[in-house]
Structure 1
Amino acid sequence: MVIAIGFEGSANKLGIGIVDTKTNTILSNCRRTYVTPPGEGFLPRETAQHHKSKVLEVLKEALAEAKLSQDDIDVICYTKGPGMGGPLQVVAIVARTLALLWNKPIVGVNHCIGHIEMGRNVTKCENPTVLYVSGGNTQVIAYSRQRYRIFGETIDIAVGNCLDRFARVLKLSNDPSPGYNIEQMAKKGTKLMSIPYCVKGMDVSLSGILSYIESRAPGWLDQGECTPEDLCFSLQETVFAMLVETTERAMAHTGSNEVLIVGGVGCNLRLQEMMRLMCDERGATLYATDERYCIDNGAMIAVAGALEFETGQSTKLEDTFVTQRYRTDEVFISWRT
């Protein structure tokens, strides 16, 4: 049983969290978000500068909130990937430096595994089919033989990226996030516009849907065929239906009666509602978390890193690099049988 500190910084969220596996308690989970002006995305260099300017402040806050000192920490965990190179590097350098200064072991964590294990920890589900949806990832996952196997995924862009980029077309605010603001507008939409629905076996394709609605939205709005709220509603309904379909197909293959939604887009209540309807029809149970744990955070990295460390695994200092491409199914899951 250990006390682990986790550092997350793969995108525009900088998070540091501390967990105690003995009591299964999240002692602190502090976060800062880099928010850009409406109509703009976040770039690696500026995001890295944001993380660099905030990381020590967040570290002090996390330790203070947990009422711990560096001597109480047993292992340092950091996001190894996937993610944006610059922000990942900032967090890795801080984690590596602290490991040397504090003389602590270090564990590099797969960002996707962090989401999954955090979701399992919070919801107490046993062996779910996982829908992982975020700004950079869209995957349908199930566990088998000490790997999280990918049953289906996006073949181009992630669902979060699709929503974020459409928010730029409508010049929606990035505070607190573009996806959240689309969700709120979609609640007021009433007209379902006809846009492509693209499922290819177990995979989904989203770039064509984005291009289609981007190119037609100005004309539809100018001619009064629909409102911005209708467009948000239509995009959500279409892409979420695709995700529910592929998740249900994976459930049928594995014989699963549990679904766990993780990742930032997993906070979306409409997605949860659609998935719950499907689960109810199958006699299955839906598990999801709120923004504290769905959105990128440091505690999820601490949870996953602690699980790995408790099975005798750690990362050699010379291997504490980062990688922008780090597949979910590359990780050996030593803590499950």
Structure 2
Amino acid sequence: MTKPNNQPLIAIGFEGSANKLGVGIISHDPFTKKSSILANVRDTFVSPPGTGFLPKDTARHHRAHFTRLARKALSDAGITDPSTQISCVCYTRGPGMGAPLQSAAVGARTISLLWGLPLVGVNHCVGHIEMGREITGADNPVVLYVSGGNTQVIAYAERRYRIFGETLDIAVGNCLDRFARTLEISNDPAPGYNIELLARKGAIRGKLLYLPYAVKGMDCSFSGILSAADLLAAQMREQEAKIARGEEVSEEERFTPEDLCFSLQETVYAMLVEITERAMAHVGSNQVLVVGGVGCNERLQEMMGQMAKERGGSVYATDERFCIDNGIMIAHAGLLAYETGFRTPLEDSTCTQRFRTDEVYVKWRD
């Protein structure tokens, strides 16, 4: 059913590219061009300390919670007849982990058929960017997109989000997550958050350990830093074993998990600030928008803010409701595309682990 032109358009969005299953509902007013968040619910698959989340286990989690979260979102939004009140069903097409993506996509296709509504496949990265722009009001910023699976410096030009720099191997969030496994730090609520808490304690001591600084032009590399941090963690355990045996270890040589987390954060975030500043100089922007799960990190925001201030600019970031993977960002980006006439035919409603940010034609921006 086509909604009257004077009625707000409403979209439901499903995000399931990694260990978070999110469902969001948003409305766009065609006259005021303002958005209203009607529902934003999420459930996270948490694996035991020292482990990561496997695709099959994460997909099982998404299948188990999909219906419950969809019902909760509809209830929160006050939607009683979705087939007439909702305009489109949006889902994450990629990038992400294959099995979790498929679980959310199958659920979205089922709901599309059940309610007789069109589908809109959304690029996960573009979802983060558009949600960040909507929440913060950033006009045309350089975007630092940092998460467990992606690290990119992005700027908009000629209806595409152009990638100016990115990771050459693993993402910065993956680097932090894997080091949390090395230290057997809890994954609840998130390994990166728990590293941040330890790093704050390490900042008080101020013991900055040497780690490789791997900036290559506009790109970064994090795998070597992770290997070096793992070696330091092994040395720390040797020190602890010596102390337990009664052997002496000097205070100058000794370091703690807090020192390791502090050193890792300072190094990788300094790299990100450098390539972001270079992109800002290239495009002539004084705005930085930080999006993605790692964007919640207060130390990263602080370092980026200091750099932007020195350039006479400002940094924009969102809180954990919107920077961590969520369904509302998929609903918002999907509805922007829907309003330009974009649809994803049922026979093409696939998902893919490889879907680059600059592949998306951003028709809704000038």
Q: What is the CA–CA distance in structure 1 between the aligned matches of 2:65 and 2:236, rounded to whole Å?
A: 42
**For 1:275-323, what per-residue CA distance to the aligned partner results, in whole angstroms no more than 9, with x for missing partners?**
0000000001110000000000000000000000001111111110000
Q: What is the CA–CA distance in structure 1 between the aligned matches of 2:236 and 2:181, rounded to whole Å?
A: 17
SS of the equivalent of 1:6 reads strand
1:77 maps to: 90
Q: Report the CA distance between 1:220 and its aligned residue.
A: 3.3
Alignment length, in residue pairs? 337
**For 1:176-195, what per-residue CA distance to the aligned partner results, in whole angstroms no more than 9, with x for missing partners?**
00000000000010210011
SS of the equivalent of 1:325 reads coil
Select which of 51, 61, 64 maps to 2:72.
61
Moved over 4 A (4+): none
Q: Report the CA distance between 1:2 and its aligned residue.
A: 1.0
Q: Report the CA distance between 1:222 and its aligned residue.
A: 3.0
RMSD: 0.8
2:129 maps to: 116
Give the unaligned 5+ runs of structure 2.
1-7, 240-252
**For 1:107-126, what per-residue CA distance to the aligned partner results, in whole angstroms no more than 9, with x for missing partners?**
00000000000000000110
Q: Report the CA distance between 1:221 and its aligned residue.
A: 4.4
Tell me which moved more, 278-287 or 19-28: 19-28
Residue 254 of structure 2 is aligned to residue 225 of structure 1: yes
Identity of aligned residues (%): 65
Q: What is the CA–CA distance in structure 1 between the aligned matches of 2:227 and 2:286, rounded to whole Å?
A: 36
**For 1:160-182, what per-residue CA distance to the aligned partner results, in whole angstroms no more than 9, with x for missing partners?**
00000000111100000000000
SS of the equivalent of 1:301 reads helix
Give the unaligned 5+ runs of structure 1.
none
Q: What is the CA–CA distance in structure 1 between the aligned matches of 2:111 and 2:321, rounded to whole Å?
A: 25
TM-score, length-scaled by structure 2:
0.91
Which structure would you say has the larger Rg? 2
TM-score, length-scaled by structure 1:
0.99
CA contact (8 A) 1:221 1:227 kept: no
SS of the equivalent of 1:188 reads helix
- 1:1-337 residue pairs with structure 2 within 5 A? 1-22=8-29, 23-69=34-80, 70=82, 71-189=84-202, 190-223=206-239, 225-337=254-366
Q: What is the CA–CA distance in structure 2 between the aligned matches of 1:91 and 1:194, rounded to whole Å?
A: 42
SS of the equivalent of 2:42 reads strand
Q: Report the CA distance between 1:219 and its aligned residue.
A: 0.8
SS of the equivalent of 1:187 reads helix
Q: What is the CA–CA distance in structure 1 between the aligned matches of 2:236 and 2:72, rounded to whole Å?
A: 48
SS of the equivalent of 1:226 reads coil
Q: What is the CA–CA distance in structure 1 between the aligned matches of 2:232 and 2:76, rounded to whole Å?
A: 49
